[in-house]
Chain A
């Protein structure tokens, strides 16, 4: 009986050898994969052990971490509630973080390479030094104005967006998407509560989780005329040059005539380019577009930033919040031949032209800058270490592109100022400052109300640009662009009154 006993001993050894080999596989080979698995709650517990840094703007903490004494030690709270939600995003326990919380996650969490010194120090001292702080470029006053004016718009519109940038630097001064949401329940440590809150927002028909200022495109309507006007100015049309207009225009190939918003707008056979912009003359721009051709307009739009797919707004040169690409869409037949009807519609910002509010603000910013340049937009002004004295990054504004020459910019500026002084954008006026802009009313669908747009800028007495804004009210109906202009005016006024933020 001893031989089989010995063999049984060998079998046990083999079985234990299998166990040992398998443990090696799990604890050595697969260890990293399991350690960092999405299903591994330990990652979270460890992450919440360290105080996450603040996100601040203008000296106010917008996102901060509170010690709860619970198992997940620090609770992420957003004192500003819904106002900053689309900028900050949120840091949930189980879902993926969004917004600046995602973009600067490693620095806030203290795990970024830049903060390796703190981690090494912690090893020796046994402390848990918190994460770094992110200082945003937002102006609190401008953000307040944008949020409150948009939310309390006189038309009772539920969806819309507003964004303001500093034309000289690209710093985002205000960014609001409506409707917004309170990020606090999403950051709850009670994951059932957080999930319920998320599902409710996710199913809301108004899409509060969408960042309409950066991530959603709509037909820009007449605001697109600035792009067409820029193309015209570069192709032998002066601002006082007469262009064909009239009460109605029918493209050579299409039966549907293009009309103006009101019979009083450019019924004459010819108006100057300046007048066409000021009154937002559809027939004039439709004919201008057909004359210039699809290639010229598409190229001009591209120079203004249309078609760019990889733009992000966050830390310059690093990742940021994704920006949807604005599109000019098809203006030609599929074979590349001219399609005057489509081109005419596209020239007044209809057809397949689509734009983000950020793109609108960047068009206004290029016009506002004397040299016609666009700066790369950014939200992160500075990264401050946990000690609040060491700076790990300070935004140095970068030129993004130059869509237009200084001369064209000057002409466009005159036209846009004329819009606010004498034309459709009078509600954006600010006493003592030069305000320029362009309204837009875009058909969404045959049976739905039109979208209201306004893009504009404000200059100080010396002609130095202070802010470029874009306000969009989705399906606002009649008066939408005027309300957008009013809100834009309020936002620009807030920026003017907050010199510290610039």
Chain B
């Protein structure tokens, strides 16, 4: 409430709405938090070196400094182009990203010969590649902030993005397995042996923009035309069409890409945006029944007929009892659990664990690898940071005035949270394990780029939400202004 204690910060906020803050840029808070995050990243790197090399090399600060330079660049972009954006988002994400780079570098140290360890170059190995990807991703995020001065301008490309999203989702499913399959899940487009991208990560963004646009247009008919049954308002059959289509797409993903996580993610994303748009609980119920019914059906079919459902059945069986076959089918999950358990409350300390024993520790199991070293306390802190990012995103959605922005920010923030839930729940045997990346931590450019773009959108929406509505810097009309379909948003009371 310090904001309220600073009078005359902005002349235009007399009619403050719930969730709409006083216009105050708070960029200095962002800068200090960012520096604090980078100090933590540097300290993490130093601790890793002290544990693994018994000495802290004079160069220990270089990865942290490189990251700091990258993030400071983005900070400057935000300072000039999105001055009213949420100040906690960038530092929180930068901390996760920095720890991810630090942990991947730690894995490189583990694999390097003892002689090569001390001289390990900053851009060498997985950690170095991740550092480079971070640079690329942050430049992309900055680019998006530059190009997209108002989030509403994106809605003009909604159909294009929707089509692109569906194509991106379908490509790996259609491609032969050798071009798209890694570890049993067909989620990739492989270019040779070294380079592969995960189009689903980008499809997530594109589809969400489309959903948001579609739902803003349709929300009235979806929320008003209904039949009452068992005390709950159910939508008309014809309005169910798009939901059924998305449900089918997500089940196709489940069956042909053999990936429950992505499927759950798309479906959860759609159902939640639908619910936010219509405020109808019935959509949630329909969505949950459809999804769990579908998943259970896939499980039963996998048991009875196998074929495309066999993979899902196997994963469910592993989830139910990973120790039934601890050396083969259950190996990954068992090793993940053992790593987490070994870490215990306090962990073995950065660099003190044995991540080499964990398969896919740089990707799916990075959270388990980290958990062994930073313990329950460290993981809880990471979860809190994720939660902070998600809740900040939802806050931006609450504060922004237009329906499209609300749906985009709310949907993206929720999807990010859902993704963390799916992967962390997967490796800790809360839900069946699926091949999702851990946002900002896992090695890999696709995931990092897509998630940074997501953060850029959240930054842009939160900037739009907190930007003074009168005054020189109002919403950039030059980019086309809000599409006319976007009237009727209940919070959109102050119009320039």
Contacts and interface: CB of A to CB of B under 8 A. Distances in A.
B354 A45 contact: yes
A23 interface: yes
A39 B336 CA distance: 11
B345 interface: yes
Contacts of B179: none
B279 A12 contact: no
A40 B342 contact: yes
A34 B337 contact: yes
A80 interface: no
Interface stretch (A2-10, A275-283, A405-413): A2-10
Contacts of B353: 42
A18 B339 CA distance: 19
B33 interface: no
Given A5-B397, A5-B406, A19-B424, A34 B338 contact: yes
Interface in A1-52: 1-6, 8-9, 11-13, 15-16, 18-20, 22-24, 26-28, 30-35, 37, 39-42, 45
A87 to B, nearest CB: 32
Contacts of B429: 22, 26
A16 B341 contact: no
B410 interface: yes
A18 B425 contact: yes
A8 B334 contact: no
Interface string A186-222: 0000000000000000000000000000000000000
A1 B397 CA distance: 9
B491 A42 contact: no
Contacts of B406: 1-2, 5
B454 interface: no
Interface in B345-376: 345, 353-354, 356-357, 371, 375-376
Nearest to B428: A22
B46 interface: no
A9 B391 contact: yes
B279 A42 contact: no
B357 A12 contact: no
B415 to A, nearest CB: 10
B494 interface: no
Contacts of A27: 340-341, 343-345, 371, 375-376, 379
B465 interface: no
A42 B387 contact: no
Contact of B279 (A1, A9, A35): A1
Contact of A26 (B340, B357, B414, B417): B340
B22 interface: no
Interface stretch (B89-97, B162-170, B269-277): B269-277
Contacts of A5: 276, 394, 397-398, 406, 410
A19 B344 contact: no
Nearest to B397: A5
B256 interface: no
Nearest to A12: B417
A30 B19 CA distance: 42
A22 B376 CA distance: 11
A19 B277 CA distance: 27
Contacts of A32: 341
B386 interface: yes
B319 to A, nearest CB: 13
A45 B489 CA distance: 61
Interface in B296-327: 323, 326-327
Given A16-B386, A26-B428, A4 B391 contact: no
Instruction: Please report whether the interface of chain A is mostly helix, strand, loop or mixed according to DSSP.
Output: helix
Given A1-B403, A27-B379, A42-B342, A12 B425 contact: no
Nearest to B391: A9
Interface string A362-385: 000000000000000000000000
Contacts of B397: 5
Contacts of A16: 383, 386-387, 417, 420-421
Contact of A24 (B334, B376, B407, B413): B376
Contacts of A3: 279
B231 interface: no
B207 interface: no
A31 B375 CA distance: 10
Interface string B417-457: 11011001100111000000000000000000000000000
Contact of B338 (A9, A28, A40, A45): A40
Contacts of B496: none
Contacts of A24: 376
Contact of B272 (A8, A18, A37, A39): A8
B487 to A, nearest CB: 14
Contacts of B425: 15, 18-19, 22
Given A4-B279, A23-B428, A27-B375, A12 B394 contact: yes
Nearest to A9: B394
Contacts of B340: 23, 26-27, 34
A1 B387 contact: no
Most buried by B among A1, A35, A40: A1
A42 to B, nearest CB: 5
A322 B19 CA distance: 75
Given A8-B272, A31-B344, A41-B354, A15 B417 contact: yes
A19 B341 contact: no
B380 interface: yes
Interface string A102-129: 0000000000000000000000000000
A443 B4 CA distance: 103
B327 to A, nearest CB: 8
Nearest to B407: A1
A187 to B, nearest CB: 20
B472 interface: no
B380 A23 contact: yes
B364 to A, nearest CB: 15
A8 B418 CA distance: 11
A490 B448 CA distance: 76
B478 interface: no
Contacts of A28: 344-345, 376
B490 interface: yes
B95 to A, nearest CB: 17
Given A15-B418, A15-B421, A33-B341, A39 B326 contact: yes
A15, A28, A41 — most chain B CB neighbours (10 Å):
A15
A24 B380 CA distance: 9
A251 B357 CA distance: 69
Interface string B105-121: 00000000010000000
B387 A2 contact: no
Contacts of A8: 272, 275-276, 394, 410, 414
Contact of B489 (A1, A6, A23): A1
B337 A26 contact: yes
A23 B386 CA distance: 15
Interface in B149-185: none
B276 A42 contact: no
Given A1-B489, A19-B421, A12 B345 contact: no
Interface string B390-413: 110010011000010011001001
Contacts of A42: 338-339, 342, 353-354, 357
B18 interface: yes
B357 A20 contact: no
B220 to A, nearest CB: 12
7 contacts: A1-B406, A2-B18, A5-B406, A22-B428, A23-B379, A26-B337, A71-B356
| 5 closest residue pairs by CB, A with B | A34-B341, A27-B376, A12-B417, A31-B344, A15-B421
Given A19-B420, A42-B338, A69-B114, 17 more contacts: A4-B275, A5-B398, A8-B394, A9-B390, A12-B391, A12-B418, A19-B424, A19-B430, A22-B430, A23-B340, A23-B379, A27-B379, A28-B345, A31-B344, A35-B344, A37-B338, A40-B338
